[in-house]
Chain A
Amino acid sequence: GENVEQHPSTLSVQEGDSAVIKCTYSDSASNYFPWYKQELGKRPQLIIDIRSNVGEKKDQRIAVTLNKTAKHFSLHITETQPEDSAVYFCAATPGGAGNMLTFGGGTRLMVKP
Chain B
Amino acid sequence: GAGVSQSPRYKVAKRGQDVALRCDPISGHVSLFWYQQALGQGPEFLTYFQNEAQLDKSGLPSDRFFAERPEGSVSTLKIQRTQQEDSAVYLCASSLFPANEQFFGPGTRLTVL
What is the chain B residue whose CB lies nearest that of A95?
A: B98
Tell me which of A45, A89, A97, A99 contacts B43 (CB under 8 A): A89
Is B56 an interface position by the 8 A CB rule? yes
Stretch from A55-63, A71-79, A101-109 at the B interface: A101-109
- Are B101 and A44 interface neighbours, CB within 8 A? no
In the complex the two chains form, what is the Cα distance from A8 to B61 in whole Å? Answer: 28
- Are A34 and B101 interface neighbours, CB within 8 A? yes
Q: Which residues of A contact B43 (CB under 8 A)?
A: 44, 89, 101, 103
Q: Which residues of B contact A43 (CB under 8 A)?
A: 3-4, 91, 104-107
Known: A45-B104, A46-B101. Is A106-B31 also a contact (CB below 8 A)? no
Instruction: Give the residues from 28 to 59 in chain A that come closer than 8 angstroms, CB to CB, to chain B.
Output: 34, 36, 42-46, 49
Is A100 an interface position by the 8 A CB rule? yes
How many interface residues does chain B have, given as a range? Answer: 20 to 34
In the complex the two chains form, what is the Cα distance from A4 to B50 in whole Å? Answer: 25
Is A16 an interface position by the 8 A CB rule? no
Report the minimal beta-carbon distance from B93 to chain A, rounded to whole angstroms. 8
Q: Which residues of B contact A91 (CB under 8 A)?
A: 42
Instruction: Give the residues from 69 to 99 in chain A that come closer than 8 angstroms, CB to CB, to chain B.
Output: 89, 91, 96-99
**10 further interface pairs, Cβ-Cβ under 8 Å (given A98-B97, A104-B42):** A36-B104, A43-B104, A44-B43, A99-B48, A100-B48, A100-B56, A101-B45, A103-B44, A106-B40, A106-B41
Closest 9 CB pairs of A and B: A103-B42, A98-B98, A100-B45, A43-B104, A43-B106, A44-B104, A98-B95, A98-B31, A98-B99
